[in-house]
Amino acid sequence: MVSDVSSDVAGLVEAMTVDEKASLTAGIGLWYLPAVERLGVPALKVSDGPSGVRGDSLIGRRSLSLPCGTLIGSTWNPDLVRQLGAVLADEARDKGVHVLLGPTVCIVRTPLAGRTFESFSEDPLLTARLAVAYVSGVQGGGVACCIKHFACNDQEFERHTISADVDERTLHEIHLPAFEAAVKEAGVWAVMTAYNKLNGVYCGEQADLLSGVLRDDWGFDGLVMSDWFGTHSTVEAAVAGLDLEMPGPSAWLGPSLAAAVKAGDVDEPVLDDKVRHLLGLMERVGILGGDPVAGRAELENDDPDRRAVAQRVVAQGTVLLHNDGVLPLSPDAIRSVAVIGPNAGALEAGGGSSEVTPHRRRRVFETIAERLPGATVVHEVGCRINRELPSLDLSLVTGGALSIEYFDNNSLSGPPIGTDAAYRPRLIWVGEVQPGLPSNRASVRVRADFTPDVGGPWRLGLESAGRSLLRVGGEVAVDNTEPKRGVGFFGAGSAVVEATVELVAGRSYVLEAEVWPRSASSPILGVRIGADPPQLADEFERAVAAAAAADVAIVVVGSNGAWESEGFDRPDLSLPGEQRQLIEAVVAANPRTVVVVNAGSPVEMPWATSAAAVLMAWYPGEVGADVIADLLVGRAEPSGRLPVSFPKRIEDTSAFGFYPGADGHVAYGEGVFVGYRHLSTRRIEPQFPFGHGLSYTTFDYGDVEVGRVGAGSSEVQVPVTNTGERDGHEVVQVYLQGSGEQTERTLVGFAKVQVAAGEQSVVAVTVSDDALGHWDVGTHGRVTEPGTYTLLVGASSLDIRVTTELTVP
């Protein structure tokens, strides 16, 4: 029950019919709730998230593309993440969005999980602190967060059906704390249920979880919505505590719930509760008295102040893993740089629902050249990591945009009834292509004025939901009018059809893709234009030769949304393609090689210490190319620390042997020994430990003092001296030394500080008594025994500088 239901909400619930009330329990289309016009209840709008706010368009309305979760996790800086939340709220308001579908706070249980990049960390305390900051920032701006995915959506393998089998202690110590903190401390306004089952029952039907833990134990008074197409029943889901089925048209709640109430299968007060949660949310986001932005077009606001916050987040979330002193580069001493690698152009992002269309696509080799005006900068791709025919690079298209024409027939005839511009190469229309024009009665032409940067045989292609053709200069080049089944476009897509076309560098070509429905019942239209530049047989050798001839080689490797995405997991920890060989060959050719890794999850780095420096850049969003260049030349300082362990081999990871499960179940057999808890307890040496990250300066730790600060917590005071010549950030980490059944090391507190060169700062780290305790299955609660605890204070989970003791009275 919403505890403080306003008279408005109570009055509306009273005034509504059962059908009106039930109508609010199911979405309309992908992103909206229905309005109840008779009573002036407006239509609530939701949007993904979490690394930007996409809005309701799947064709590429632009918004600020922000860093992925693991980069945010690497900041270890809740204050900064709160500012990022405020930026997200501004972005949401520009898109008329009331509920942001994020943050993703599931724990990184295995680095192979496809959505690892969306999560913050493998550690519950770090995840919880950042979740509270993120939610407070967004909701402080008047926009709701829908924290997700509740609970244990920790892998994509069989994500719609698998049962995560987790014991009570592990659930409460590892997998639930971030949700709990977001509810209790940040008062999060909405929660999204996970697709998977938890201990055999779908999360959306888990009364113990939704009514027991979430509402009764934590006092949650907000809205519980399903993940998209993740509702499986009417009565079970409704009674268990699911308030809203997304998206529409509904299959289980909505009219079916109205029928169940009328038939007496669900009590009307159960429905009333849901409506109170829904109207309560509308009241919180300030639209119950009328939505000021309803019906307004979504804005594309490229705001420099928001970008500046994103830049600070990226600098503070980029992790300098290794540095033999080559970084920062000194611009005066460098006359030539080879920028190499498949990700050295526009940086990549993870795939799936978190994707947004950026305002700008800067290329790393260009931003590096801008920072080193006195040097010759050459760019060589070295190898390619395309899993499928790559999409047309919009930086080679006039205006960076595709122009779209909509026709109210299936044959592209007559004048278009509407036009649009799109800033992404994959376009999709679900339900309607334009207001009032259903996809199945429409056709669409997409035009690109394309100027190839290299000449030769280009592979051009099409993937579409519907039948399609690609014309080059008016001539049909690719015919996909009899599409074969593919996997894209929510399963409605065709296989890719391609042709090789000889193109001349610098000449402009008109590419036109035409798409129309496959049948009268197709609800989805979509098209993606593919264009793969001619490949030189000696790309690899050219890259190595360029490296050998340059003062410094910068290799930008990594992954992309075709390898790392919602919907599937990674097969292993390796970098796709020949990237390992490329790094090793470049390192052999030039000892001054810096490797920049643009990926969202840990990758194997057997070459790490043979390179001169390694920067983990994650998926930094649209400011990334500029910030990375600033970091390389020392205009900014990388101050991230790893929020996940980087193992040497997959066999060393805690879920190995349990993941991905079999027969519909995955046992969380590692229990609480997740990530560094496992590695430290088993004395397994990682490639890079949890909490690790270097700086452009060095820090000394002095004698530590510990004292009580009020009931329930202590403070560890750590004098930190910057012993180098540059200002820098340090993240002081406090671990509990475990014994017996406890893990060897448990993060119990941390603080990030900036210390000027040569200065000392006394860093205060709060450690709550709760953090020192454990979940007790006898009392179903956390227990901290009075006594003396050993604390390890250091700069990572392995770099312990001081040991001290703390007494809980």
Three-state SS for 452?
A: coil
Cα angle 369-698-634, degrees, rounded to a multiple of 5: 10
Can you name the residues that pair with 509 across neighbouring β-strands? 450
| 695 close to 639: Cβ distance less than 8 angstroms | yes
- Gap between the Cα atoms of 8 and 493, Å rounded: 46
Q: Up-side HSE of residue 742: CA atoms within 13 Å toward CB?
A: 19
Given the complex with ligand BGC, which of 148 and 322 has the nearer CB atom? 148
Nearest to 3 by CA among 273, 287, 285, 289: 273
Given the complex with ligand BGC, which of 244 and 748 has the nearer CB atom? 244
Residue 378 CB, nearest approach to ligand BGC (Å): 41
- Gap between the Cα atoms of 8 and 447, Å rounded: 50
Residue 224 CB, nearest approach to ligand BGC (Å): 14
- Gap between the Cα atoms of 343 and 557, Å rounded: 5
Rule CB under 6 A: say whether 48 interacts with ligand BGC.
yes
Residue 659 CB, nearest approach to ligand BGC (Å): 19
The site string for ligand BGC over 300-339 (x = CB under 6 A, - otherwise) reads ----------------------------------------
Counted residue by residue, the chain has a size of: 809
Q: Of 221, 227, 243, 408, which one is the catalytic site residue?
A: 227
Given the complex with ligand BGC, which of 130 and 791 has the nearer CB atom? 130
Among 91, 227, 380, 769, binds ligand BGC (CB under 6 A): 227
| 120 close to 77: Cβ distance less than 8 angstroms | no
CB neighbour burial string for 396-413, b if at least 16 within 10 angstroms, e if fewer? bbeeebbbbbbbbeeebe
Neighbours of 97 (CB within 10 A): 29
- Gap between the Cα atoms of 225 and 150, Å rounded: 10
Residue 251 CB, nearest approach to ligand BGC (Å): 15
Given the complex with ligand BGC, which of 30 and 235 has the nearer CB atom? 30
Rule CB under 6 A: say whether 405 interacts with ligand BGC.
no
Residue 80 CB, nearest approach to ligand BGC (Å): 24
Given the complex with ligand BGC, which of 228 and 658 has the nearer CB atom? 228
In 95-143, alpha helices (H): 124-140
Rule CB under 6 A: say whether 228 interacts with ligand BGC.
yes
Residue 205 CB, nearest approach to ligand BGC (Å): 17
Q: Which residue is nearest to ligand BGC (CB)?
A: 353
Residue 463 CB, nearest approach to ligand BGC (Å): 20
Given the complex with ligand BGC, which of 227 and 298 has the nearer CB atom? 227
- Gap between the Cα atoms of 781 and 783, Å rounded: 6
Residue type, 760: Q
**Residues whose CB falls within 8 Å of the CB of residue 789, separated by 6 or more in sequence, listed in order:** 736, 737, 772, 805, 806, 807, 808
Residue type, 769: D
Rule CB under 6 A: say whether 569 interacts with ligand BGC.
no
Rule CB under 6 A: say whether 148 interacts with ligand BGC.
yes
| 98 close to 31: Cβ distance less than 8 angstroms | no
Given the complex with ligand BGC, which of 48 and 173 has the nearer CB atom? 48
- List binders of ligand BGC among 488-527 (CB under 6 A): none
Find how far residue 555's CA is from the centre of its chain. 24
Can you name the residues that pair with 445 across neighbouring β-strands? 405, 514
| 329 close to 377: Cβ distance less than 8 angstroms | no
Residue 563 CB, nearest approach to ligand BGC (Å): 18
Given the complex with ligand BGC, which of 159 and 648 has the nearer CB atom? 159
Residue 148 CB, nearest approach to ligand BGC (Å): 5
Label the pairing between strands 665-667 and 613-616: unpaired
Q: Up-side HSE of residue 275: CA atoms within 13 Å toward CB?
A: 29
Three-class HEC string of 719-739:
EEEECCCCCEEEEEEEEEECC
Instruction: Give the phi and the psi of residue 782 in degrees, each rounded to 5.
Output: -80, 140
Size of the site for ligand BGC (CB under 6 A): 6
Among 83, 353, 440, 468, binds ligand BGC (CB under 6 A): 353
- List binders of ligand BGC among 441-480 (CB under 6 A): none
Among 68, 101, 547, 587, binds ligand BGC (CB under 6 A): 101
Active site residue 227: yes
Per the rule left: phi > 0, alpha: psi between -120 and 50, beta: everything else, 378 is: beta
- The tokens describing 187, both together, are 């008062």
Helix (H) or strand (E) holding 747: strand 745-755
Residue 353 CB, nearest approach to ligand BGC (Å): 3
Given the complex with ligand BGC, which of 101 and 151 has the nearer CB atom? 101
Given the complex with ligand BGC, which of 154 and 630 has the nearer CB atom? 154
The site string for ligand BGC over 4-43 (x = CB under 6 A, - otherwise) reads ----------------------------------------
What residues are annotated to the active site? 227
Residue ranges that bind ligand BGC, judged by CB under 6 A: 48, 101, 148, 227-228, 353
